[in-house]
Structure 1
Amino acid sequence: MSNAPHYPFTAVVGMDDLRLALLLNAVSPAVGGVLVRGEKGTAKSTAVRALAALMPDVDVVAGCRFSCAPGAPDPGCPDGPHEAAPGTARPARMVELPVGASEDRLVGALDIERALADGVKAFEPGLLADAHRGVLYVDEVNLLHDHLVDLLLDAAAMGASYVEREGVSVRHAARFLLVGTMNPEEGELRPQLLDRFGLTVEVAASREPEQRVEVVRRRLAHDDDPAAFAARWADEEAALRERVADARTLLPRVELGDAALRQIAATCAAFEVDGMRADIVMARTATALAAWAGRADVREEDVRQAALLALPHRRRRNPFDAPGLDEDRLDETLERFGGDDRPDPDTDPDPDPGTDPSGPDGGGGGGVPPQGQGPESGPPAEQPGPSESSTGQPEPSEPAGAPAAGAGAGDRSAERAAEPFRTKVLSVPGLGEGAAGRRSRARTEHGRTTGARRPRGTLSKLHLAATVQAAAPHQRARGRSGPGLVVRRDDLRQATREGREGNLVLFVVDASGSMAARRRMGSVKGAVLSLLLDAYQRRDKVGLVTFRGTGAEVALPPTSSVDAAAARLEELPTGGRTPLAAGLLKAHDVLRVERLRDPSRRPLLVVVTDGRATGARGGDALALAGRAARLHAAEGTAAVVVDCEAGPVRLGLAGNLARDLGGTAVTLDELRADSIVGLVRDVRAATGTDSTVRNRRAA
């Protein structure tokens, strides 16, 4: 590992909000950490790693692996007791948690073999112990496995880490500053972990040529000679470190007045954030801002800046909501609930915030987009106009000269999705071994115990009953004389467990002209949006293939970001012919590549169509689609067809497609978890009366 110095914090160009958020946490770790969101290549990790050099040294008990404070050691420390133990100072640690780390690497490893055979409680501390009283940094935190997220949440809530293995347990203190970076394009965070970050910052690369030039110049200089580059910035680093120390010293003397508290409470209420954590974080952040400014009182500008850092990520109601804060509304709230103890009440002479066209920063109309749907590309989408076909035929047929996908003549503007709903659980049959998730059955490290086997490598999950059963017949031969059980390595049994895995859910959406008839596309998009929300909650990867005109395209390659899929779906126009076979073949290509990239993640193909197929070969279109569907069936791909056919006359083409795919078909109504159809089906299955229906369908 290289010992080259990290890139200096003071050499980071721009990124004012990011640097401020990190420095506030250095001043007051009680703020609760920082989540940094931004596109790749924006110096997120560089700035975070540089923070460690600015943190004050930590006094620890000499020789304690858990960083106990000499004046107040942890009474339950595994290395204790520490009565009158000498202390020593060391730099604050920046501990990085890899996304693919194991549970034992995070919380520590307990040697079960020695505990059972020798009665020795041998514990090897993990990353949580290393990060105690320091910084725990998670790069790509949104890709962290669920079981590690649960452990982080427990440690953050309790300030301690517990390691338990079959009745043998170890506890140690684990209070750390949690800092995470993520690229939103790769998926969002679970709401519970999102709320644990005190502050959030959105970063993006500068569009100013001069600033970009300076970034490149400094980066090249650092890479050529890191030590010389660090020496150039040593004075600035020392000055900033001293300012952090001074702010820490001033922090206990900062007064948070009643007027500031009223503004904090009113702001959190006005933006409808859940719980009280936002109020507490805002109060701590405003206090840290005052200390950072060298003041002993909290002012309105501190409250405003605290709101901009602490509230945006707490306003999201679902994963499709863009984080953000309406600054005009924030200023109105602060003005309305401002008290007489504001430092300068005459700075805003305009009593009517609506009469001044300039914003709080002097800008005109370039503010935050209206609250609700977030930014959109282009003007608001309109409902299809009266030019659409509305004949009484079962389905309209496209003219022979219908344009290809992307051509304008037969296209209709993108129709808005209907309100999402809770869907039935769609799962892949069988037992998988993929990434941890919440959709299909799988062999996992966590879940209910289903059996036992001999351990391969280090024993982590002991099956106690199976171990005792294996050792019991050999006790006399091993000379057992006391109450204890003589256990050897060959007796140990590893528990096998069954839980849930995340899948690759590939959507194949029919965007042809027949799907736009009778304004159906809004309902179809609402259904797919509902399935995307379900995929987010079940920790799946998602992909989107669309077909219309003369071909199909991959609208979104497989990704963990359901936000991106929802955005592509919202912008999806309709029109043209129905090249169903092309859509299925394109999906086949996508899945073939994904099997090579991630062979353990099982796919679920969701085809959203009315089953119609048109194309250049006329009557052969359905036959071609059937052959393409049987390719998926031959490879064992689990498939569900969402039947979008509507009207009094139904051709049942989606059901035929489902049979060719070797899957099942559900209607839009049946897709709803609370649908009447689903309730009737469940009752019939429970009473045995559904057999008649199944026999009729088989006939």
Structure 2
Amino acid sequence: MTPEQENPAGVWEDALRAAALFAADPHGLGGIVLHARAGPVRDLWLDHLRDRLAGPVRRMPPGIADDRLIGGLDLPATLRAGRPVSQRGLLAEADGGVVLVPMAERLERGTVARLAGALDTGTLALERDGLTARHPARFGLVLLDEGQEDETVAEALADRLAFRLDLTGVSLHEARVATPAPGQGRPREGGRTTARPGNHSADGPVAMLCAVAESFGVTSLRAPLLALRIARLVAREAGREEPDEADLIAAARLVLAPRATRLSPPPVDAEDAAEQPPEPRPPQDADQAPGAEAERVEGDPREPDAIVLDAVRAALPKNLLAHLLAGGPPLRSTAAGRMGMAAASPLTGRPVGSRPGDPRRGRLDLIATLRAAAPWQRLRRAGHAPGRIVVTPDDFRIRRLQRRSETTTIFCVDASGSAALERLAEAKGAVELLLAEAYVRRDRIALVVFRGTGAEIVLPPTRSLVRAKRVLAGLPGGGGTPLAAGLDAAATLALGVRRAGGSPVIVLLTDGRANVARSGLGGRALAGEEALGAARMLRVQGLPTLVIDTGARPDGARRLAEAAQARYCPLPHADAGSVSAAVRAATA
């Protein structure tokens, strides 16, 4: 870990610098993803941002309805006028300012799409309730990410925002000491690497930022473009027409480092470079000057500047290495949220809109019904009492409700003789750690153990910490490895959870060396074929699965993971903490 990563004051100074840059161009920079729990540190940073903003600041309530977000029919005005009257939504009201989004990790997909569309175009197209309008909506976003490790802001939205800040390790004392008083100027530059003076061609900064982004595994094209915009903004503040190396360093630290998905290769020493054979170069054209090729290679813009690479490497998130060791692509592309997958429900759940329907087969949405009937009142009031609202069956709207299903993590643990001595204790510790986290998320955990000649469910789906610890403490080990029987038991339990409306995830901890068939007879060949067949059934049934190879030699369970199309994670030296970290990353 670098000194930069261990210095919370440096993190806070970078956050203040990002706030100042964002306040100068909210819509152009998109916004900020701020990962911090509600508290005085976050409030202090938000106050610092508000002091520098010139436009309006609007707070978006969680679960905001479409008519308030993007606008729609003004129901009281429409009923008074007898004709459709539109009203502006929150995004149009925030034109020229900033929208604060609390609990941004729980935004619905529809809300994410509307926010992303407004950021891309700077306008808000209103086409609903019989209305058609277009409002300017040039705003910036501040997404307040308050989620756990398995809850993150939607990447489709976060990718459009320039900054990603994490203030979880900053104390209130450190923040107050490093925050300048109003009117005392901005904090010092985030980059603490001395830059060399140098001149860049017109496309030099672009090529350098793209090369740095590629070095750290940043695949989005928006990231280097946002970094370039920040570098030019910093240069203009300093009175320069084009950004120099110091400006590129500041931009790369603030934009590219938090997005890194891999560790950049270390710089090559001069002695090592001299020992490596030179790469073959294409033949020179006849009309090319002898020194032109050397000049082109020396100034090749595809080669990122070593100082910029070092600056970004110093600003990498401190947990990046642990995330790379435990993480990777999620098990499923749909976000599970805090309480599992979203499921439609006719009578219970959280309202997510309305649709035409029969109130006898759902819950009547009175406001939506009145909104549908309001534009036609002038035509319908003929022959009716004055002031009466005429509603027809076509106007009825019923609520669309959505509830969250529980996520049940089913541990399928190899307790045979080959694994008990080395891995059973680690599996017990991992289950206890994940069960404590599941209790907070209101999820459940089950435990299936296979050994000897069969498998058994030693812990049905539960959130009881006391019961889990009691069962795990007396869990024995030893005997053969009936891997197929263990997979069958886990699949049966997972299908039962799915039928009950839950979201099952199977986590298999094994070395993959099956030696007992379903019949209870020994034999590695038959046991191995049955285990692969059981793994294929997991794929056919569509059960999300994570295979953790706990063997002393990795790759023992890889064939099993390929047959089930499961996520494979070799952990030959796993302990309880690393196993639980891998499961959290895979089931995010």
* Deviation (angstroms), 1:95: 1.6
Aligned counterpart, 2:231: 286
CA 1:647–1:107: 2 relative to 1, 3 Å: farther
1:126-179 per-residue CA deviation (whole Å, 9 max, x = no partner) reads 321221101112233212333322221121122122333332233311110212
Q: Would the aligned equivalents of 1:424 and 1:671 in 2 still touch at CA under 8 Å?
A: no
What letter matches 1:451 in structure 2? G
Structure 1 residues 388-407: aligned runs within 5 Å = none
Aligned counterpart, 1:111: 74
Q: Distance in 2 between matches of 1:139 and 1:426?
A: 18
Q: Distance in 2 between matches of 1:338 and 1:43?
A: 47
* Deviation (angstroms), 1:494: 3.9
Aligned counterpart, 1:50: 48
Residue aligned with 1:306, SS: helix
* Deviation (angstroms), 1:20: 0.9
CA 1:144–1:202: 2 relative to 1, 3 Å: same
Aligned counterpart, 2:276: none
Q: Would the aligned equivalents of 1:449 and 1:496 in 2 still touch at CA under 8 Å?
A: yes
Note if 1:25 corresponds to 2:25: no
* Deviation (angstroms), 1:328: 5.2
Q: Distance in 2 between matches of 1:475 and 1:368?
A: 67
* Deviation (angstroms), 1:309: 1.9
What letter matches 1:124 in structure 2? Q
1:583 equivalent among 459, 462, 465: 459
Aligned counterpart, 2:129: 166
* Deviation (angstroms), 1:51: 1.6
Structure 1 residues 177-196: aligned runs within 5 Å = 177-183=140-146, 185=148, 187-196=151-160
* Deviation (angstroms), 1:445: 4.9
Note if 1:150 corresponds to 2:80: no
Question: With CA pairs under 8 Å and 6+ residues apart, which has the higher RCO, 1 or 2?
Answer: 2
Residue aligned with 1:649, SS: coil
* Deviation (angstroms), 1:517: 4.7
Q: Distance in 2 between matches of 1:615 and 1:139?
A: 47
* Deviation (angstroms), 1:98: 2.5
Aligned counterpart, 2:580: none
1:268-307 per-residue CA deviation (whole Å, 9 max, x = no partner) reads 3444534532232121011012123343331112112212
* Deviation (angstroms), 1:556: 1.9
Structure 1 residues 325-404: aligned runs within 5 Å = 326=264, 360=310, 374-376=320-322
What letter matches 2:233 in structure 1? A
Aligned counterpart, 1:604: none
Q: Would the aligned equivalents of 1:137 and 1:179 in 2 still touch at CA under 8 Å?
A: yes
CA 1:155–1:17: 2 relative to 1, 3 Å: same
Aligned counterpart, 2:367: 459
Aligned counterpart, 1:276: 221
Residue aligned with 1:20, SS: helix
Aligned counterpart, 2:411: 509
* Deviation (angstroms), 1:615: 6.1
Structure 1 residues 64-463: aligned runs within 5 Å = 92-111=55-74, 115=78, 118-183=81-146, 185=148, 187-206=151-170, 213=173, 233-236=181-184, 239=185, 257-312=202-257, 314-315=259-260, 326=264, 360=310, 374-376=320-322, 439-443=342-346, 445=351, 449=355, 451-453=357-359, 459-460=367-368
Q: Would the aligned equivalents of 1:510 and 1:580 in 2 still touch at CA under 8 Å?
A: no
CA 1:493–1:121: 2 relative to 1, 3 Å: closer
CA 1:104–1:514: 2 relative to 1, 3 Å: farther
Q: Would the aligned equivalents of 1:508 and 1:583 in 2 still touch at CA under 8 Å?
A: no
CA 1:23–1:126: 2 relative to 1, 3 Å: same
Q: Would the aligned equivalents of 1:135 and 1:177 in 2 still touch at CA under 8 Å?
A: yes
* Deviation (angstroms), 1:368: 5.1
> TM-score when scaled to structure 1?
0.49
Q: Distance in 2 between matches of 1:13 and 1:314?
A: 18
Aligned counterpart, 2:384: 478
* Deviation (angstroms), 1:109: 4.3
Q: Would the aligned equivalents of 1:265 and 1:279 in 2 still touch at CA under 8 Å?
A: yes
1:186-206 per-residue CA deviation (whole Å, 9 max, x = no partner) reads 611111011111222233434
Q: Would the aligned equivalents of 1:31 and 1:284 in 2 still touch at CA under 8 Å?
A: yes
1:580-620 per-residue CA deviation (whole Å, 9 max, x = no partner) reads 666327x153899xxxxxxxxxxxxxx9xxxxx9669xxxx
Q: Would the aligned equivalents of 1:113 and 1:489 in 2 still touch at CA under 8 Å?
A: no
Q: Distance in 2 between matches of 1:128 and 1:461?
A: 24
Residue aligned with 2:367, SS: coil
1:218-243 per-residue CA deviation (whole Å, 9 max, x = no partner) reads 99xxxxxxxxxxxx94442xx559x9
Q: Distance in 1 between matches of 2:218 and 2:442?
A: 24
Aligned counterpart, 1:671: 538
Q: Distance in 1 between matches of 2:427 and 2:239?
A: 57
Structure 1 residues 502-651: aligned runs within 5 Å = 502-511=404-413, 513-514=415-416, 517=419, 554-558=435-439, 583-584=459-460, 587-589=462-464, 638=502, 649-650=517-518
Q: Would the aligned equivalents of 1:546 and 1:553 in 2 still touch at CA under 8 Å?
A: no
Q: Distance in 2 between matches of 1:591 and 1:119?
A: 64
What letter matches 1:309 in structure 2? L
What's the RMSD between the two structures over aligned residues?
A: 6.2
Unmatched runs of 5 consecutive residues or more in structure 2: 1-8, 189-198, 271-295, 469-473, 478-488, 521-532, 543-588
Q: Distance in 2 between matches of 1:96 and 1:306?
A: 28
What letter matches 1:505 in structure 2? T
What letter matches 2:73 in structure 1? L
Q: Would the aligned equivalents of 1:140 and 1:181 in 2 still touch at CA under 8 Å?
A: yes
CA 1:166–1:200: 2 relative to 1, 3 Å: same
Residue aligned with 1:136, SS: strand
1:376-433 per-residue CA deviation (whole Å, 9 max, x = no partner) reads 39xx99xxxxxxxxxxxxxxxxxxxxxxxxxxxxxxxxxx89x979679999xxxxxx
Q: Would the aligned equivalents of 2:215 and 2:264 in 1 still touch at CA under 8 Å?
A: no
Q: Distance in 2 between matches of 1:325 and 1:503?
A: 37
What letter matches 1:194 in structure 2? A
> TM-score when scaled to structure 2?
0.57
Q: Would the aligned equivalents of 2:253 and 2:311 in 1 still touch at CA under 8 Å?
A: no
1:512-561 per-residue CA deviation (whole Å, 9 max, x = no partner) reads 52497599999xxxxxxxxxxxxxxxxxxxxxx97589999724225679
CA 1:437–1:233: 2 relative to 1, 3 Å: same
Q: Distance in 2 between matches of 1:204 and 1:551?
A: 25
Q: Distance in 1 between matches of 2:338 and 2:300?
A: 57
What letter matches 2:100 in structure 1? Y
What letter matches 1:589 in structure 2? S
CA 1:17–1:155: 2 relative to 1, 3 Å: same
Aligned counterpart, 1:495: 397
1:70-99 per-residue CA deviation (whole Å, 9 max, x = no partner) reads xxxxxxxxxxxxxxxxxxxxxx22222232
Q: Would the aligned equivalents of 1:286 and 1:302 in 2 still touch at CA under 8 Å?
A: yes
What letter matches 1:150 in structure 2? A
Aligned counterpart, 2:471: none
